[in-house]
Every structure is written in C-alpha cells, then in structure tokens.
Copies of this chain bind each other. A is one copy, B any other.
C-alpha cells in the first residue's frame, strides 16, 4: 500500500517534516512518499499562491498517479487541487483539512482550528467549514499571527508555545473538545499539545494517511460517476502534451 503525500508548496523543510509526520503513524506495510512540485511559491497564503502552485502540482500527479494507491494533498484548505486530483484518479484522494475535520467529528462535538495568519483570514476558513457542512461543529478558528514560513522553525520553542497558547484558549474559553492544527507546517506538534491539554489534537497529515489506509483497506476509491468523472477531453493550446493524459482515461 503506497501513499503519495503532495505538498503543493516548494518548501523543502515542510516536505521533510511532512514525510516524517506521515511515517510516524503509517501502518505496517504502508509506504509513504512526501513530495513537492518542481516550481512554484514557497508557501500558500493567498488565492494567488494557490493558483500558482496548481500547474506544477498537476504535473506531479499526472507523472506519478499510477505508482500509488492513494493520495494526500498536504495543504490545510479546500484546495482546488483536491477536486482536480479526484477527477484524475479512481483511487482515494484526501485533503488534510477535510481529513482533520472528519477525524475531529468522530472524537468530540466541537473542534477548534488553530492556524497561522491574523484573524483577517478566519472568515475564509468559515466559508470552507460551511461548504463541508461542519460550521456548527466548530467552536472557533484561532490564529496565531505566525506566517506559514515561521513554521519552518516549528521546532523553535517560541513558535510551539504560541500554538499551544491558542489551543489552550480554544479549550478553556471557546469550549472546544478537539483541536485541529490548521497548517501542514504544524505537522509533528500534535502529541505534545495533546499531552499538555488532555484533549485529542489532530494533525491533518497524520489523519489523512490513516484515512487513506482505511479507504484502501476497505477496497473503495474515488467515484468516477458525477462530480469526479474523468475530465472530458478537448484540445490544449500551447501546452505540454503530458497534460492531455488525464483526458485519455475517460
């Protein structure tokens, strides 16, 4: 059972941390490969960044789809790549945000998301929560003021403390009973905070790897009827012919 974890940004520090995080929880017999595209922004903090990383990420997926049994998109958002990847494969594909949220919903009634950025970014998270139908289950979205790239120094005690502080407030002030770490860059901090606070703490990378294992183990994959049907073919102007490959699956 082989899982590809695609980090859509180009931070090698993050890709390495994601690899380590995924390995910590994989079952015996599961191989996990974390990778990132060969071009694009070093972090994803805007819709602009999100679109810049799309084409090089699609290239990775096209090139490696056949090798793996399931896929994880390691960006804590409702990234359009998740949906494109589902169109491009009949195997399971999970984003780390949805993986974290579904996991949280199985363990408590009210999760909080502790994330990077300022509280200006929270409304965008709530929009996704509503899309997933889980807004009523969310106690709070708490931002730490850290940038995504601050997390490259996630081993730094100050960074860890800042995240722990907001997680504690989520539990004590917002009555959260589960914490979701809101950025792939927080991978590896879950158990430390869980031990500190006494509530389940979910890292999306770990959660996604476990859920992809469960789906593959059950023998189910992405439905090829409806929303995730193979993409309908058409001519591509001035593009590498490799991009025609997903059309051929139809």
Residues of A within 8 A of B (CB): 10, 25, 27-29, 38-43, 45-52, 54-55, 58, 80-81, 83-84, 86-88, 92, 94, 98, 102-103, 105-110, 119-120, 122-124, 126-127, 130-137, 139, 147, 149, 171, 175-178, 191, 194, 198-202, 206-207, 210-211, 213-215, 217-229, 231-232, 234-239, 243, 246
Contact = CB atoms under 8 A, between A and B. Distances in A.
Point out which of A29, A124, A201, A218 has the most chain B C-beta atoms below 10 A from its C-beta.
A218
Contact of A228 (B83, B108, B222, B224): B108
B107 A232 contact: no
A148 to B, nearest CB: 8
A133 B131 contact: no
A6 B31 CA distance: 33
Minimum-distance CB pairs A-B, first 3: A133-B133, A177-B226, A39-B238
16 contacts: A39-B237, A39-B238, A45-B231, A47-B86, A106-B215, A107-B221, A108-B222, A109-B227, A110-B227, A119-B175, A123-B139, A130-B130, A178-B223, A199-B223, A199-B224, A199-B225
Contact of A210 (B126, B131, B176, B217): B217
Given A147-B232, A234-B149, A177 B223 contact: yes
B120 A106 contact: no
Contacts of A126: 136
Given A106-B215, A206-B218, A123 B42 contact: no
A236 B52 contact: yes
Contacts of A206: 218
Nearest to A137: B133
Contacts of A136: 126-127, 130, 133
Nearest to A49: B231
Contact of A110 (B38, B55, B58, B226): B226
Contacts of A46: 84, 87, 231-232
